[in-house]
Amino acid sequence: MDVRTLKKNKEFNFVYRRGKPAGSRDMTLVAAKSRYGGIRVGFSVSKKVGNSVVRNRVRRRMKEAYRTILPELSGNHSLVFVARASITSAEFSDICTQMRRLLERAGILSR
């Protein structure tokens, strides 16, 4: 499955308005049913997280964790992962585990 990303502000706003949030220690997932085929994903890292170098590293780690889980996903959903400040000190394996749990809680990933 290819990775389709949310790019425009209105796409993110649609997910924030219509989606259901699920949170963990280092990130929050907002998931909404999508009218488009497949899964679309966006990553949000606030300026509260750190300087641009730190934010970009966090975004790259989140994208890589998502990429490892992607083959197990199916359905029509739009997802936004929002990083919290504590993610900067998290191990990559913790990020993967938290992301998997959030997707299971949202009903997108089967156990």
Distance (Å, whole) CA 108 – CA 78: 10
pLDDT in tens, 11-33: 999 999 999 999 999 999 999 99
104, two tokens: 């299971």
Q: Are strands 77-83 and 39-45 parallel, antiparallel or unpaired?
A: parallel
Is residue 42 within 8 Å of 83, Cβ to Cβ? no
pLDDT in tens, 37-61: 889 999 999 999 989 999 999 999 9
Can you give the pTM of this predicted structure?
0.92
Set out the domains of the chain in order of their start, with CATH numbers: 4-105 (3.30.230.10)
Distance (Å, whole) CA 49 – CA 52: 9
**Quick one: pLDDT band at residue 2, thresholds 50, 70, 90?**
low
41, two tokens: 């994903």
The answer to whether residue 34 scores a pLDDT higher than 90 is: no
**Quick one: pLDDT band at residue 4, thresholds 50, 70, 90?**
confident
The enclosing H or E element of 83 equals strand 77-83
